Structure 1
């Protein structure tokens, strides 16, 4: 059972014509819907429309672009149940989380509708008497977005809301197992009153990305996804001297110190590891716990994991739905088995549920050996690796013992201690007494193998603009 079944035809001249893309419900194995893919002709039409539309869209006063984005927020709220159901049926997240994701998208639209103009206002600089020097922010043109299935609305809106409002136009290549979400997202902007061509969905496979990115009309790209996908996009963009923003994998530490509020750290830790079925780059994956509270914390974490309801994602009472893809679940299980084989102890979970659908239980691994998959790789599912450390120094060392560097969560009742240690954690963001999350008001992004560049807030909207110096004598 695959998340999307694609039937491909290639003409004798090499032109690709795709027939269908089928989205499959991972909770039931049933086909949700079938979509006609875009072939080379349709892709060319989209690129031509994007370029043509950009020339007009860039001249729109930013206040008009902000008003349209506010309309998009309204469309999202008015259709949140329908959009949430599309998400749940295509990738398996609980319906309550899917609806909340749509609401968060509306919030991001509200944020940029209210703040984009201020973010992009010209900046004045010191200059000789009689001169004026400023930096203005001009849009670049069509931006390609390669987006993942795990947060199929949020990942797209957090690129589209700032970049379109800055005057760019967007081309979305979404994950092939969420074509309904991709179509619905284009609908959002159409219903909001955006001109045709400002936001377009390309229903294509990954093999088309290189050609689209290499096209002269595409000026930059943003990708959220795996390391290999990010490297491939960065390589193509580099050959053509095009800017990229990459948000890749993570193996985020969740550090619980000896003076932490254990009640809060358990409650938040459960959500931080199991939200979205654990399928999140910024999920808490490595729980690093001070020896003074280790036994209590782990016992309570295991108990909380075992109390979660794993089941039908369309049921409001479900805490953990289906994994998005049976093959990805099998990879996760292989990581768990290999880690146990290397010496890790499975305290709960550890086996796919004996039922139809791709269901994996919340799992806790202790005594995790260095270098085993649960220690050194990203586990994209509800699997927590727990570690016991004797002091804060070793906690930070273990937190930084990763190729990634996306986010971190650090728990202590001493806020000064938290801020001091946060500066020692090698990550793009550190949350003290809170789970790692993305918020439209603050910059988001990683370092090392977690990617580069920033999304959201003022930093995000300025990633894909020409920061042009204008000197007036």
Structure 2
């Protein structure tokens, strides 16, 4: 893929960029290594001041950045604006809490280990390489960068090739906020250039948010170099609705959960699993609401669903729907690629999905929802756990016993009860199975790229 801004609303190339050459790659890695040495010697108070200043810069540019995001990857403008503000909030969260999260922990009774004092401390590990996706071009990158820098690490960002202007904005943000030179930089390189950077001895660890194949590839390289990784990969999250649920409320949230970011979110609800007692009511209301959504120019404040970010992504989504249709699924609403400029796909609801259809197990990265009928909670759990993914899940029930069953039994990194999956700086985020390893956000996220050092004194 060329490194270029290709407007998904029009399909036209807005701007192209040359990848940096080997000399510049070397310069940036060397600068990051030096930046780590400088940054690791600073105090939490100094880093917090710089992080808050960078967050202020981000907020000051909110309108410009929101438009940039929308032009580069097609998100409706109001959601783009919200991403900028959420990113600034996350940066301030780590400025406020990094010292607390990384405080030394001492055993209350060191005599148990024959010591006068014993415990642990968290220390930065070095330069961390981040390989980030286009779907949340600021939030995904900054939820890595904020904790990494606040811990005293340096960061290098290899961003998705279709959001180069977002990458270039982030390239200078932290130095503009006051961080030492080299603390953070973007690498405009193709995906094929990641291995060379990751194998460099000055790179201590890596994190990737993206597809399962990309995660497997990066993990294999890191494993051969004995380097730690955090991976947040795909998801096909279940959204379970039981008879005790407030069905109209569940439908309202279900629509938002499916079409957030025009359906292009790993944690978007994708498989709606509904008890037979409320199935017809849910499906009727859900399909009606999905069919009413406005699809169009994402720069228009009234647009609900913008284009798919890439032509290949739109074609892949259409292929999943066409496969289900050919194998007997019921296309309740949507399901046809519109004849218009840009890479649009309508909100689509599909019922009667069976295991031989690709949609049964594969992730639909766009506004396409499947709705399945189950007889009881046990069948709901079985169907929810039937894919290789395990990122997050949502459950709608007002039965305490059912709630307990779902929380205990769903194979996922999160369970959201009577709501939709979301990411918060205060809570850990990540998945199990093929959805990844490790955690981002909260105290867990900042500790991922630290050396947990044991200290013992006789």
Both structures adopt the same fold (TM-score exceeding 0.5):
yes
Q: For residue 450 of structure 1, what is the aligned residue in structure 2?
A: 435
In the alignment, structure 1 segments of 5+ residues that lack a partner are 7-20
Q: For residue 177 of structure 1, what is the aligned residue in structure 2?
A: 162
Q: CA deviation at 1:187?
A: 3.0
For the pair 1:205 / 2:187, whether they are aligned, the reply is no
For the pair 1:127 / 2:127, whether they are aligned, the reply is no
Instruction: Give deviations 1:73-93, integer Å, cap 9, x for gaps.
Output: 211111111111111000011
Q: Measure, in 2, the Cα distance between the counterparts of 1:199 and 1:416.
A: 48
**8 Å contact kept, 1:23–1:34:** yes
**8 Å contact kept, 2:236–2:364:** yes
For the pair 1:38 / 2:20, whether they are aligned, the reply is yes
For the pair 1:96 / 2:51, whether they are aligned, the reply is no
Q: Measure, in 1, the Cα distance between the counterparts of 2:110 and 2:133.
A: 46
Q: Measure, in 2, the Cα distance between the counterparts of 1:308 and 1:413.
A: 29
Aligned length: 455
**8 Å contact kept, 1:427–1:447:** yes
Q: For residue 141 of structure 2, what is the aligned residue in structure 1?
A: 156
Q: For residue 220 of structure 2, what is the aligned residue in structure 1?
A: 235
Q: For residue 377 of structure 2, what is the aligned residue in structure 1?
A: 392
Q: Measure, in 2, the Cα distance between the counterparts of 1:131 and 1:59.
A: 28
RMSD (Å), alpha carbons: 1.1
In the alignment, structure 2 segments of 5+ residues that lack a partner are none
1:249 corresponds, among 221, 234, 241, to: 234
Q: Measure, in 2, the Cα distance between the counterparts of 1:287 and 1:24.
A: 33
The alignment partner of 1:293 has SS state of helix
The alignment partner of 1:143 has SS state of strand
TM-score, scaled to structure 2:
0.98
For the pair 1:369 / 2:354, whether they are aligned, the reply is yes
After superposition, the Cα gap between the structure-2 partners of 1:316 and 1:470, relative to the gap in structure 1 and judged at 3 Å, is: same
Q: CA deviation at 1:415?
A: 4.4
After superposition, the Cα gap between the structure-2 partners of 1:416 and 1:107, relative to the gap in structure 1 and judged at 3 Å, is: farther
**8 Å contact kept, 1:347–1:365:** yes
**8 Å contact kept, 2:115–2:456:** no
Q: Measure, in 2, the Cα distance between the counterparts of 1:422 and 1:322.
A: 35
Q: CA deviation at 1:190?
A: 2.7
Q: For residue 67 of structure 2, what is the aligned residue in structure 1?
A: 85
Q: Measure, in 1, the Cα distance between the counterparts of 2:82 and 2:259.
A: 15
Q: For residue 11 of structure 1, what is the aligned residue in structure 2?
A: none
The alignment partner of 1:317 has SS state of coil
The alignment partner of 1:360 has SS state of coil
Q: Measure, in 2, the Cα distance between the counterparts of 1:187 and 1:41.
A: 19
Q: Measure, in 1, the Cα distance between the counterparts of 2:346 and 2:175.
A: 40
TM-score, scaled to structure 1:
0.95
Q: Measure, in 2, the Cα distance between the counterparts of 1:191 and 1:433.
A: 42
After superposition, the Cα gap between the structure-2 partners of 1:419 and 1:80, relative to the gap in structure 1 and judged at 3 Å, is: farther
Instruction: Give deviations 1:268-292, integer Å, cap 9, x for gaps.
Output: 1001100101111111010000011
**8 Å contact kept, 2:428–2:440:** yes
Q: Measure, in 1, the Cα distance between the counterparts of 2:87 and 2:401.
A: 33
